[in-house]
Structure 1
Amino acid sequence: MKEGKVPTDILSKLIYTNLGVKRNEVAVHAGIGEDCSVIEFGQYAAVLSTDPITASNNLSGYLSVIISCNDIASCGAKPIGVLETILLPIGSDEESLNKIVQEIDRGAKELNIEVLGGHSEVTSSVNKAIISTTAIGVCSKDKFIKTSGAKLNDDVIVTKSVGIEGTFIVVNDYYEKLSNHISKSVLDSAKSFITDLSVVKEGLIAAECGVNCMHDITEGGILGAAFEIAEASNMGIEIFSDLIPVRNETKIICDYFNLDPFKLISSGSMIITSSNGKKIVDELKKQNIDATIVGKITKSGKYLIDGNKKIEINPPTSDEIYNIL
């Protein structure tokens, strides 16, 4: 297998056939595209998600909090806390650990959540720090949103722009190299993308406006996320390449490294489907969050429409960022 997410066909064959006993309390079970599980407790539901940070070398502690809480918000739930597992390579010093936990603290304070616990360990099993986060949120049991909820003829909406996280990671990890080829103003602007990495605000706003499906755009980019919501919902999808928002900084950096921004890790951007996309876009824009209708949910087939070309969207493979790493 290539670096990155395990392919969906292998997930179906090996992972989703070995999930223990289905419990009646679980309202959303593990499945392709479902980043969260939902467990009902009376009138409320606990929403849980877990994710590692592997692609970034800088600000990984901060990213671990933001990215996992994005999954919670994509379910329409409010994050309340995280559990952090930190694995350090042999020879790590106290300052390395201190930097990570201060970054975690920063992310938690920004989202007004608590670090509930976790585990830290020095091990020969890793050659760089690996952080795995479990996030926990809460919502009314009748208000959570599923990735598998997309309906026929739904508008497909993308918030902000694609490639935000990938651009931010690449600039932070390769700033000196890039500074020899790309202007300082572009690089510094890309570094400011850190303020756009969270989708908690837009997730909670959209959840109150009648959405059918929400999904944080992570590894595999917009094309990977489009495939996952269509597959999870047993529907088709068509998105138009000329409507997908891509910031100029992302275009410049992707051109330099020969990366496809549509397949680049994109936390900070959310894909939403709704029967009334304009209503969602208008409400988000009232809250100063950019949003764009980029396509439709269809009966079958998964396609990127590029001019007169209809390009099939395949299951997500290794994210574009690994072509650099």
Structure 2
Amino acid sequence: MKKYIVFCGYAGLKGTLRLIREYYDDLSRYFNKIYLESILEHIENRGYYGRYLSPISNDRSIKGPVDINSIFAGFSDRISDVKEGGILKSIYTLAKSLGCGFEIEIKKITAIQICIEICEYFGLNIYRLLSEGKLIITEDPISVCKFLDENGVAAQIIGHLSDTPDKIIVDKEAIEYVNRPTDDEIFKVIKDERENTVNN
């Protein structure tokens, strides 16, 4: 059976948070402070995995951050962390370890609009930026996403593994092959000790 890739979390969210903290004064002159603070509040109230709610909407959840460890405790599907190097590096590394390729749709990778705009401001690729998320390889992605959604976790089917070694990104009609991962995008901006940058 075909094995699908489910992404939990948001592309580049952890890296964006780090950039906001480091360059808040600069960013607040360019971006609305409400939107900058919405990311900080989202992490505090919902964690990196919780479904994102607009700061100007009235449907904010009163729940605290999702308990990601307990939610995934009963999973039998293969789970892999998305961390340094972003989601593209994580998918590439996972597929290589399994001896297969993949095909993903870039537009299906969940991202928060303000994070996209901040990455554009710094000239960074959000899909190669420091993240806090998980990849699930499963044959039943609909049930997995339904379960995660019911538990307040942002989850999206973004593609599938393939029998060929090709690692492909589809963006509308265009096809791009994923190259060997490079350094995390955040190091283009933050010149700090790797451990301090990645773990804070």
TM-score in terms of structure 1 length: 0.50
Quick one: which amino acid aligns to residue 224 of structure 1?
A: K
Indicate whether 1:233 and 2:134 are aligned.
no
> Is 1:160 matched up with 2:9?
yes
How many residues align structurally?
172
* CA spacing shift, 1:155–1:202, aligned 2, 3 Å: farther
| Aligned partner (choices 23, 34, 44) of residue 174 of structure 1 | 23
Could you give the per-residue CA deviations for residues 243-287 of structure 1, whole angstroms, max 9, x where no partner exists? 1111012111111111111111111x2111101111111111111
- The SS at the match of 1:311 is strand
8 A Cα contact 1:206 1:284, kept in partner: no
**Residues 83 and 130 in structure 2, CA contact (< 8 A), matched pair in contact too:** yes
Q: Tell me which of 41, 44, 47 is aligned to 1:192.
A: 41
Q: Is the 8 A contact 1:206 1:280 kept in 2?
A: no
Partner residue of 1:308 out of 128, 152, 173? 173
Query: Whole-Å Cα distance in 2 between the matches of residues 203 and 216 of structure 1?
Result: 12
Alpha-carbon RMSD across the aligned residues, in angstroms, is: 1.8
Mapped pair 1:320 → 2:171 = no
What residue in structure 2 maps to residue 298 of structure 1? 162
The CA deviation string for residues 11-53 of structure 1, in whole angstroms up to 9 with x for no partner, is xxxxxxxxxxxxxxxxxxxxxxxxxxxxxxxxxxxxxxxxxxx
Contact conserved, 2:8 with 2:49, CA < 8 A, in 1? no
Q: Which runs of no fewer than 5 residues in structure 2 stay unpaired?
A: 51-65, 191-200
Runs of 4+ in 1 over 3 A off after TM superposition: 197-204
Measure, in 1, the Cα distance between the counterparts of 2:172 and 2:97: 27
Looking at structure 2, the residues matched to 203 and 156 of structure 1 have their Cα atoms a distance apart, in angstroms, of 19
Cα–Cα, structure 1 residues 315 and 193, in superposed 2: closer, same or farther, change >3 Å? farther
Which of the two has higher C-alpha Rg? 1
In the TM superposition, what is the alpha-carbon distance from 1:198 to its structure 2 partner?
Answer: 6.7
2:182 is paired with a residue of what secondary structure? coil
Q: RCO higher in 1 or 2 (8 Å CA, sep ≥ 6)?
A: 2
Partner of 2:135: 271
In 2, the alpha carbon distance for the partners of 1:247 and 1:198 equals 12
Q: Provide the residue aligned with 2:76 in structure 1.
A: 210
Structure 1 position 247 matched with structure 2 position 112: yes
Q: Does the 8 Å contact 1:202/1:284 carry over to 2?
A: no
2:10 and 2:49 in contact (8 A); partners too: no
Structure 1: 5+ residue stretches without partners: 1-151
Cα distance in 2 for residues equivalent to 1:292 and 1:198: 12
Q: Does the Cα contact within 8 Å between 1:209 and 1:280 map onto a contact in 2?
A: no
- Match of residue 194 from structure 2: none
Inter-partner Cα distance in structure 1 for 2:32 and 2:129: 22
What's the % identity of the aligned pairs? 26
> Secondary structure at the residue paired with 1:252?
helix
> Residue 220 of structure 1 contacts residue 318 of structure 1 at CA under 8 Å; is this kept in 2?
yes
Distance in 2 between residues matched to 1:235 and 1:298, nearest whole Å: 6
